[in-house]
Amino acid sequence: MNKLESLKVKIYADGAEKTEMLKMAALGYISGLTTNPTLMRKAGIRDYKFFAKDILSVIQEKPISFEVFSDDLQEMERQAMEIASWGSNVYVKLPITNTKREPTFSLIKKLSDQKVQLNVTAIMTLEQVKGSVENLNPDVPCYISIFAGRIADTGVDPIPLMRESLALVRKLAKGECIWASPREVLNIFQANEIGCHIITVTKDIITKLALVGYNLSEYSLDTVKMFFEDGKVAGYEI
């Protein structure tokens, strides 16, 4: 059994390019998919609903998350109910606050009590995790998405927060914790080691999975060859 086959953490593909999403969904080791308005904008998506329903016409089994994009709590609710109606495998990504710093806890509770499968996103503090857990219906499937990669970008080790968050999420019978925004393949193994349920990964990290288990001496030689070939092609002289 190789390293990838021994993983218990579920790998979700994060992206917004249709061809790539369908390709990822077809892979056995990809358990679900996520996207967000930023990725969709970068991919040139102009019609949100058409894009989502087009993807869902093919991806009907694996869970997939689509995010609301309003800053108004009432409009967030309307969008969430619409998105939730698109399929039984759909999770609605709801940010932990709006841009005015207004927590979405009341909306989390309202939607979760209406059986909407939520993916509470953009979480970076333990207080945000606690508030989410307190308002999510324990009998409704949900994700709590903690942006461990962005936390690490600030120079803070995200692992202690992830461990504490996992302990809290266990109070939810159908809740799962997501290690979001990873920066390297190592994060997958870190998430697996602490018992995190899910990690979202982008195309660049998925591509690097081919290196898992690769002999480091050979990798060192590959690197030396790359430097040599680039120096030769550039025609450098001293």
Residue range 9-36, pLDDT digits in tens: 999 999 999 999 999 999 999 999 999 9
Residue range 151-208, pLDDT digits in tens: 999 999 999 999 999 999 999 999 999 999 999 999 999 999 999 999 999 999 999 9
If one counts the domains in the chain, the total is 1
∠ at Cα 32 (28, 33), nearest 5°?
Answer: 120
Residue 154 resides in a domain: yes
pTM here?
Answer: 0.94
Residue 153 resides in a domain: yes
Q: What is the percentage of the chain residues whose pLDDT exceeds 70?
A: 99
CATH code, domain carrying 107: 3.20.20.70
Q: Are 175 and 144 in contact (CB under 8 A)?
A: yes
Residue 76 resides in a domain: yes
Q: Are 119 and 178 in contact (CB under 8 A)?
A: yes
Q: Are 5 and 32 in contact (CB under 8 A)?
A: no
Quote the domain boundaries for residue 134: 10-213
Q: 121 CB contacts (<8 Å, ≥6 apart)?
A: 36, 67, 93, 94, 95, 96, 145, 147, 180
Residue 2 resides in a domain: no
Residue 218 resides in a domain: no
CA 116 distance to own-chain centroid: 18
Q: DSSP H helical segments within the chain, as ranges?
A: 18-25, 37-42, 48-56, 73-84, 105-113, 126-135, 148-153, 159-169, 186-193, 203-208, 216-234
